[in-house]
A and B are shown apart, each in its own frame.
Chain A
Amino acid sequence: MTEKIALTLTINGHAHAIAVEARRTLADAIREDCGQTGTHIGCEHGICGACTVIVNGEPVRSCLMFAVQAEGKKIRTVEGLADGDTLHAMQQAFMDHHGLQCGFCTPGFLMLAVGVLEREPDISDGDLLDVLSSNLCRCTGYQNIIKAVRAAAAEMRKRCV
C-alpha cells in the first residue's frame, strides 16, 4: 500500500505537485499534502459534510474521494472563497446572520451552499433546505445557517444580473 503516485492537485487555481498512496483520501491530501487545513474532517464516512469541497463545480465530500481521482480537476476550498480582504457573499452572510458558533462545520456548509447556488441560483426554499440537511452542525440549531444561505442566495443572484 505504500507505493506513492505522483500527481498534481489544482486547488483554488494553484497547482500542488504531490506524491500520495492510491488510498489517500482527497481530504487528507488537501490538508496534509497541500497544507490547506480549512477543509475539516468530521466523520470520514460521508455523512457530516464538514469536508465538502467543490470539484469541477460540484460540491463533493472529500473524505469519500481519493486524491488520485481529483487529478486534472478544479478543486475549490474555503480558502479560495474570499477575494483578498473582501469576504464572499456567503461568508459575509454567515457572519451577519450568526450562522456559526464553533466554526468546525462552517467550511463544509459554505462550500456546499456556494456550490449548489452557483449551479442553481433560483433553487426553491424547500430544495435548499433539503440540500442543507445533508450537512451536520452541532452548535447552531441550523436556523441561522438557513437564514444566512437564503440571504447570500439573494445577494449572489443580484451580483449575477
Chain B
Amino acid sequence: MSNPKPKFVGRSVARLEDRPLLLGQGRFAADVSFSGQWHMRVVRSPVAHGKLQGIDAAAALALPGVHAVWTHQDVAHIPPIPFRLTGLVELEPYRQPILAKDYVRYVGEPVAVVFATDPYIAEDAADLIELDIEPLAPVLAASGATGPFDAERATEPSIIRKSYGDVDAAFKAAHAVVALALSTGRHSGVPMETRGAVAHYDEARDILEMHGAAKVPWWNRDHIARMIGRTRTNMHLLEGHVGGGFGIRGEIYPEDVLVCAAALAFGKPIKWVEDRREHLIAANHSRQQQHRIRAAIDAEGRILAIDDEFFHDNGAYMRTHAATVPDLAAAMLPGPYRVPAYRVAGHIRLTNKTPCGTYRAPGRYESTFVRERLLDAVAAKVGVDGVEIRRRNLIATSEMPYDLHLETLGTHIVYDSGDYALLLDKTLACAGWPALQADLKKRRAAGEKVGAGVAMFVEKSGLGPSDTVRVEIRKDGKVEVITGVASIGQGVETAMAQIAADALGVDYTAIDVVHGRTDRIDQGAGAFASRVTVMCGEATRLASTKLRDKVLRLAAELMQTDASALDIVNGEIVSRDSTGPSMTLAELAQAPPGDLSAEDTFLSSHMVYPYGVHVAAVKIDSDTGAVAIERYVIGYDIGKAVNPRLVESQIAGGLAQGLGGALLEEFVYDDHGEPLSVTFADYLMPTSREVPDISILITEDAPSPLNPMGLKGAGEGGANPVGAAIASAIDDALQRPGAITDLPITPQRMKAICRQN
C-alpha cells in the first residue's frame, strides 16, 4: 500500500544539509574537543626505505607539556591494519603496522607518536625526536623485472588475472592488431578537510568513542575494536560533518587506531588532526598504472579480442583496499563494447611510495583511459572517426542484461540495463556535434589547435550485499530515518528524506536522517562504490512503506475504520474520501501502543550499472602548453534520479576532479623516493579558472530492473572518462592520432608533445 503519487522523488528540492554548514555550525573532526584532551603528533619517516635502528625521544620527553612518546614496542601487540575489500591471502604479509617496526618503507610512514597538552608543543617535540635510520636503495619503478622489496617480501605479491573467450585464436584470425603503451599518473582525492580523529574513553560506562569517522564507520568500529581488544558493544564510531570523501577519507589508517589505543592506555581524550603536508604523503594515493594493451580487430574495426597487461604501483603497503583498485581496473576494462574474448593480467607492485587505496571511479578512471585510447587507435587504423568506431562496437540494448563473464568485489558483472547507442546520440545532439566538427575544422584550417573527442564508459554502483534502515515517528511527529550509511557531503540526508517522505506521506523537511553513528543502528555498510542511493534508498523505501502500513493499521483501530480507507497526507492521517475525523502522526505516536517504528533490509547480490558519454572540445596553446576546455558535455543515464540537481552536482564535481587528473595533478617523487608534491603549490588542483561551465544531460532511459525505483548511482560518472575524453580531443586538435599516451597532460608535457609536430 505504498503512496502512489511521488511528491518529492524526482524533484530537485533544496538540501536539508545546508543551513548549519552555511552558518559555520558544522561539526567536522577538528571541531570536536574534550576538556583535558591530549594532542597527538605523528613522527614520520624522512626516508623512502631504510632500516630503523633506533629512536631517541629523550629531548622530546624533556619538553614541558609532553606526556608520552610511543614507538613500535608500545603498540607491538596491535596487529597490522586488516583488509576491507578484495583481501587476497597472498597480500597479507604486506599489511601496514600502525607504527614502523624494523624498516621504514615510504616517506611519511609513522614511526612514533608524541602526546602533549597542545598541538604546537606536540609538533615541537616531534621535531626533537631523533631517528637512526640506515638508508637503503628504494624501489620506485613498478614495471620491469620483479625482485626483493625487502628481506622477506617480493615486489610483486600478486597478479590479478581475468579472462574469457579464446583470445589467442582471435588474435590469430584478426584482420589487424592495434597495440598501445599507456599510463595514468599518481593522484588522490585530496578532500579539503584533512583527516582527523578524536578518541574519548568514558570509564564510567566503559565506552570508547572515536569522533571523526567517515565512509565505513561500522566496519571500522568492528575492526579497530578487534585490533585493540574491544568489542562492538563497548566501542562506537561517530561521524560528524565530513569535508569530502572521494574514496580516500574514512578508511582505517594507523592514526585512527593510535588515538583509540592511546585514549584507553592513558585514560585521556586523544585528538589528532593532520596537516596538509602529512595528508599528501600519508593518506592513500591512487591510480598510478602502466598498461600494454592490444586489440584484435576485423576489417571494419570490430573488436575480436582485447589483451591487456598492466602494472599497478601500490606504494609500500597493502592497505584496507588490498587488490580492489587493480581488480576493478581489470574487471571493468571492457566497458560498453562487445569484446568477444578478453584477457588481462594486472601486476600488483610494491614501491617505496605512499600506499594506495581508492579514488573516485577507482580502476575505471585508469582502464577507461586505456580502453578509449584503444578505440581511438582502432578508428585511426581502419580510417573511420571515433564516433563511428564506437557505434560499431557498442553492446546493443537487445543484449541486456549483458553478462560480462567477469567478477569483481565478490559479484558477478552483469550489465543490468542500458541503451548505450541512444545516449551517444543524445549526447552528441546536445553537443551539436556536426556543427562543432565543422567549426573546429574551419578554425584548424586558420591555424588554431582546436579539437574534440568522445569517451564512453559503464560505471558500477549499488554494491550490496545489504542495507538496513529503521524509520521511527517520534512523539512530536518528527520522523527519524536511521541508516547504516555515511555522509561525505553528497546530500544523502536530502535524498533519503525524499524517498521516506513519499512512502510515508509527510513533507521531506519533517524527516531527520541519521547516518554514520554506530550507537544508533547496529550494522551499516557505509558510503562507497556509489552505493548509498541504491542500497539505502531502497531500504528506506521498504522500511517507510512498512511503517506506513503500521501507522494506518493502528490509526484504523483508533478511528474505528478500515486501514484501506485511510491515507497519510502531509503528516496527517485522513480518510481517503475526505470525510470523518483525522489525526496527526504526532497524535498517533502519543497514543498507546506508541511504538511507531519499522525496520527493513534491502538485499542485492548484483551491482547496477549506469553509463555515460563525455564530449570535450579543447584548445591548445602550444607556447604555454595550456589546454583550455572550450566545451564539455556529459550524458549520463542514472536509471532514476531521486534529486536531479544532486545528481548533476555529483557529475559536475566529478568532472572537476577528472580534469585535475587529466591535466594538472600528479604526485611526483625524486630518485631517492622523496615526495615532491607536498603542498598545494606542487599538487595542483583545478580552481574556478580551470573548470569550465559544462552541459549535463541526465537521462532515465534505462532504469535498473534490480530495484523497484530503478535507481543507479551517481558518484563516479563525472570523473570516470575525463582523461580519455581530453586525450581524444587533444589528439584531434593536433590532428595526430595517438599523440596522448600518458596522464596527466601537464603544460610541460603538452609543450613537449607540440614540439614533436
Measured CB to CB, the residues of A under 8 A from B are 1-2, 21, 23-24, 31, 36-45, 47-48, 50, 77-79, 81-82, 87, 91, 94-96, 98, 100-107, 110, 129-130, 132-146
By Cβ-Cβ distance, the 4 closest A-B pairs, closest first, are: A38-B24, A102-B489, A103-B21, A104-B243
A136 in contact with B679 (CB, 8 Å): no
B241 in contact with A103 (CB, 8 Å): yes
List 20 additional contacts besides A2-B65, A91-B23; criterion CB under 8 Å: A2-B121, A31-B31, A37-B30, A39-B24, A40-B192, A47-B681, A81-B24, A94-B18, A100-B22, A101-B244, A102-B191, A104-B241, A104-B244, A130-B689, A136-B687, A138-B244, A138-B656, A140-B653, A141-B718, A143-B693
In the complex formed, the residue of B with least CB distance to A105 is: B192
Select the residue from B655, B687, B689 with max chain A CB neighbours within 10 A: B687
Instruction: Give 23 pairs: A residue, B residue, CB < 8 Å, sorted on A.
Output: A42-B193, A44-B275, A45-B276, A47-B681, A81-B24, A87-B19, A91-B23, A100-B18, A101-B244, A101-B649, A102-B193, A103-B26, A103-B241, A104-B28, A104-B193, A107-B24, A132-B687, A138-B190, A139-B192, A139-B489, A141-B691, A141-B718, A144-B652
Please report the C-alpha to C-alpha distance between residue A135 and residue B689 in the assembled complex, in whole angstroms: 11
Please report the C-alpha to C-alpha distance between residue A146 and residue B691 in the assembled complex, in whole angstroms: 11
B652 in contact with A103 (CB, 8 Å): no
**Chain B 98-135 per-residue mask, 1 if CB under 8 angstroms from chain A, else 0:** 00000000000000000000001100100000000000
Please report the C-alpha to C-alpha distance between residue A98 and residue B21 in the assembled complex, in whole angstroms: 12
In the complex formed, the residue of B with least CB distance to A101 is: B489
Chain B contact residues: helix, strand, loop or mixed: loop
In the complex formed, the residue of A with least CB distance to B14 is: A95
Interface residue from B120, B488, B646 paired with A23 (Cβ < 8 Å): B120
Please report the C-alpha to C-alpha distance between residue A132 and residue B689 in the assembled complex, in whole angstroms: 8
Given contacts A77-B24, A87-B22, whether A139 and B687 have CB atoms under 8 Å apart is no
B36: Cβ under 8 A from any A Cβ:
no
In the complex formed, the residue of A with least CB distance to B687 is: A133
Q: Which residues of B contact A42 (CB under 8 A)?
A: 192-194, 276
Q: Which residues of A contact B31 (CB under 8 A)?
A: 31, 37
CB under 8 Å from chain A, chain B span 662-695: 679-681, 685-689, 691, 693-694
Please report the C-alpha to C-alpha distance between residue A134 and residue B64 in the assembled complex, in whole angstroms: 39
Select the residue from B14, B17, B23, B245 with max chain A CB neighbours within 10 A: B23
B184: Cβ under 8 A from any A Cβ:
no
B241 in contact with A102 (CB, 8 Å): yes
Interface size of B by CB at 8 A reads 58
Q: B159 to nearest A CB, angstroms?
A: 34
A138 in contact with B192 (CB, 8 Å): yes
Please report the C-alpha to C-alpha distance between residue A40 and residue B242 in the assembled complex, in whole angstroms: 12
Select the residue from B28, B64, B193, B242 with max chain A CB neighbours within 10 A: B193
Interface residue from B24, B488, B655 paired with A141 (Cβ < 8 Å): B655
Q: Which residues of A contact B686 (CB under 8 A)?
A: 142
CB under 8 Å from chain A, chain B span 685-723: 685-689, 691, 693-694, 718
Q: A85 to nearest B CB, angstroms?
A: 10
B681 in contact with A133 (CB, 8 Å): no
B490: Cβ under 8 A from any A Cβ:
yes
**Chain B 27-39 per-residue mask, 1 if CB under 8 angstroms from chain A, else 0:** 0101100000000
Please report the C-alpha to C-alpha distance between residue A81 and residue B22 in the assembled complex, in whole angstroms: 9
Given contacts A100-B18, A104-B243, A133-B688, whether A141 and B23 have CB atoms under 8 Å apart is no
Q: Which residues of B contact A104 (CB under 8 A)?
A: 26, 28, 191-193, 241, 243-244, 489
Please report the C-alpha to C-alpha distance between residue A138 and residue B680 in the assembled complex, in whole angstroms: 13
B749: Cβ under 8 A from any A Cβ:
no
Q: Which residues of B contact A139 (CB under 8 A)?
A: 192, 244, 489, 649, 653
Given contacts A130-B689, A141-B691, A146-B688, whether A100 and B681 have CB atoms under 8 Å apart is no
Q: B42 to nearest A CB, angstroms?
A: 16
Given contacts A100-B18, A104-B243, A138-B246, whether A143 and B691 have CB atoms under 8 Å apart is yes
Q: B325 to nearest A CB, angstroms?
A: 20
A132 in contact with B688 (CB, 8 Å): yes
Q: Which residues of A contact B242 (CB under 8 A)?
A: 102
